[in-house]
Structure 1
Amino acid sequence: MLTIPAEQTRCAVWGSPIAHSLSPVLHRAAHVALGLTTWSYDRREVDTESFAGALEQLDETWRGLSLTMPLKEVALQAAVEATDTARETGAANTLVRVEGGWLADNTDVHGITAALAAVGCDLASDAVTEVVVVGSGATARSAIAALAASGDSRDSGAVAARRVTLMVRDEARPETVAQARAAGLEVAVAALGEWPDADLVISTVPPSAGLPLDTLPTTDGGRTRVLLDVVYGEGPTPLQRGGQHRGWTLARGVDMLLHQATRQVSLMTGQPAPLAAMAEALYAVVDPVWGVRTSAGGR
């Protein structure tokens, strides 16, 4: 039987599937850089049906959990406290131990904003007016929250109202539509492949969604269009290839992963995240442009 030292502090990433997760690479690098020699970070296969029981089994040595699909909504429901961002999005990718239970947060919002900023896309810019969010689930609501958070710094009297088009296979989830409208965004819903003349596309669906790309706009006349596909792994997705062929600037899902993890590290450890050490560890196993160099896998 494995004996856990009394002073050990434990963290992990949960989800299904989870074997491909790169979160251990990031968090372990942070622990080393911060000198947290008794901290551990692992991964565990947990689905929505097993989540409640798995969470109940955690003892006081557990400090924090990172949550990926399909656990972001059930994680929020299990928390005794939640940040405004988690409540607004109806989803949590982070649980941190507090008195009486768990605090829920959603650091994906910061990850999306930072990944776009890395390629010069400022969500507060007047140039980002027409946005497409592909999908309408938990990560789509994080994208909506990122747009909403940047809205306060825009001069709404001087620019056109920002519109977001939710591109979905069937119907957009009503809670996502309601969140966008509550944030003051104009909302449209389109079928997959009905691309508007967008400045920014944020895709939150897997490559298997089969997005039609024939009508994806082409960049011309010096206009900058930016595409963030939150998926990453073994190579470029069809959407990334299509965007690159049509002149779009590509933001990277691995950058979103990195920056959302820095917020998680700060929440779990109470210390500033060592961004440089985490980035070095991540990009040692991830190709700078497209995919995973080793079998370490995705999020």
Structure 2
Amino acid sequence: MEIMKYAIQGYEDVAAEHLLGIFGNPIKHTLSPVIHDTLSDALGLSERYVPFCVKDEDLSRCVKLAYDEGVLGLNITVPHKQHVMESLVNVDIAAKTIGAVNTLVRVEGGYKGYNTDMPGLAKALETEGIALKDETVIMLGAGGAARAVAYMCVSYGAKQVYIVNRTFARAQAIADDMNAFTEKTVVQAVASEDYQSIPDGKYLMIQCTSVGLHEGDGMPFDFGDAFYAMAKAGVDLIYNPAQTPFLKEMAKLGVPAVNGLKMLLYQGILAYELWNNLKVSEALTDKVYLALQDAIYGKKRGDNIVLIGYMGAGKTTVGKALAKKLGYEFIDTDLYIEAQEGMTIPDIFEKKGEAYFRALETDVIRKLREKTHCVIATGGGLPLRKENSDLLKEVGTVYYLMADADTTYARVKHCTNRPLLQCDDPYAKIQAMMKERGPVYARACHIRVRTDHGTLEEVMDEIK
């Protein structure tokens, strides 16, 4: 294939039934192969993802060449996101409005262009419990990514968006385009020297500049703590380094904040779904996210398998079967504590209280960091402490086993060793506790796995 002449070193001899790829310049540090090859391997598809170093003057020729030679789909990155639109047979309305394409999908006669950055970021925010509808937003910066962020905000129903930028005209151009798109005034440009004109309040704050990419960078704008304290949640589109000055400021102020790695994840997932006309499961998405984290930040956890989740999710049943299958040791943290204390969990609750029991759980996790080749089933309340959930991610790969309330109740209704269910209406208690604990478990895990559908063998296949 002639297109392979543009493949970067190490990819020239890639062979598969279908090729995927990315055009950019420079491109050798792209993480996209981690996303797409992980997906193809997990789904059993004969597809391989190739980074192509394509210069401006070769872009149009390479797009045609890729199509003629059967390349299934392409991502587009800098500096080609705008220019590539000239080489496409169609462009999705969102990509047209944003003015940038990052995904090419085969259609009759050529490629159609999409922008998955915007829905990718929206999905990333959704997983963090951030809804854009009726939200007030402050965007810091009006560079290339800012247009997609602004379009996302107005498309998903944000009430008011302020774009703060040193070059006012650039922010104003985005505001004008977005307001024309929505046919109402939602987006307002703010010159950086006029930042105090933004009304006091609580905002979703999105850092869209490149400040923070390099060691020694400071804050994107030196507005002081009082300004940044207006954030009720923060997002930095940068994902490497994991902690930018903006994110450190959010942490100092006690504001929940995330970096841009999940945006990278979901824009890639959405592109893969478009190319293959399929839906990627939550469990597989989690596995890809873990692969990305390992590729960027390095693997920082043991080789153990840790199972968390609400009571009745199947931690003990799945854990014992999986340990036997893998030849691992099985450890139940509740049984570990009972042996250590010489009394049952209900007795510990009754005689020494829940706080004492939770402290024992933390002590157990610290000890388990020294273990290897173990399947560890935790008590349902163990991951609720942030200290515990952080420690668990050092112990091994953490899987959140999930089951609905009906399945859970059917599994535990006859149990007498569940202190938290010794009440008048255990089903209502299960529903309330699952609603409360679900988001905590999701944040504490690496990968989510449902246990209320499929066989035990299928559940184990999802885990290992």
TM range (shorter): 0.7 to 0.9
Structure 2 counterpart of 1:157: none
1:132–1:202 CA contact under 8 A, matched in 2? yes
TM-score (norm 1): 0.81
Q: What is the CA deviation profile of residues 187-217 of structure 1, one whole-angstrom value per residue up to 9, with x for unaligned ones?
A: 1222279364450222222126851344254
Structure 1 counterpart of 2:250: 243
| Pairing of 1:1-299 with structure 2 (within 5 A) | 8-37=17-46, 39-58=47-66, 59-124=68-133, 126=134, 128-129=135-136, 131-151=137-157, 161-169=159-167, 171-172=169-170, 175-182=173-180, 183=182, 184=184, 185-191=186-192, 194=195, 196=198, 197=200, 199-207=203-211, 211-217=220-226, 225-286=232-293, 292-293=297-298
Q: What is the CA deviation profile of residues 73-117 of structure 1, one whole-angstrom value per residue up to 9, with x for unaligned ones?
A: 122332211111111111111011211111000111111111212
- Aligned counterparts of 1:216 and 1:69: Cα–Cα separation in 2: 34
Bigger shift: residues 259-268 or 242-251: 242-251
Q: What is the CA deviation profile of residues 56-81 of structure 1, one whole-angstrom value per residue up to 9, with x for unaligned ones?
A: 33233201111222221122332211
* Shift of residue 134, structure 1, vs aligned partner: 2.6
2:164–2:195 CA contact under 8 A, matched in 1? no
Structure 2: stretches of 5+ with no match in the other structure: 2-11, 300-464
- Aligned counterparts of 2:27 and 2:245: Cα–Cα separation in 1: 23
- Aligned counterparts of 2:288 and 2:277: Cα–Cα separation in 1: 21
3-state SS of 1:69 partner? coil
3-state SS of 2:30 partner? coil
Q: What is the CA deviation profile of residues 123-178 of structure 1, one whole-angstrom value per residue up to 9, with x for unaligned ones?
A: 01x3x22x222332442121112111222xx7xxxxxx513224244631664222
3-state SS of 2:69 partner? coil
Q: What is the CA deviation profile of residues 10-57 of structure 1, one whole-angstrom value per residue up to 9, with x for unaligned ones?
A: 1112223322222111111111222212x1101123343442233233
Structure 1: stretches of 5+ with no match in the other structure: 155-160, 295-299
* Shift of residue 122, structure 1, vs aligned partner: 0.5
CA RMSD, Structure 1 to Structure 2 (Å) = 2.9
Structure with higher Rg: it is 2
- Aligned counterparts of 1:41 and 1:192: Cα–Cα separation in 2: 45
- Aligned counterparts of 1:70 and 1:261: Cα–Cα separation in 2: 18
Q: Judging by fraction of residues, say which structure has more helix.
A: 2
2:205–2:231 CA contact under 8 A, matched in 1? no
TM-score (norm 2): 0.54
Question: In the superposition, relative to structure 1, how do residues 150 and 235 fare at CA in structure 2: closer, same or farther (>3 Å)?
Answer: closer
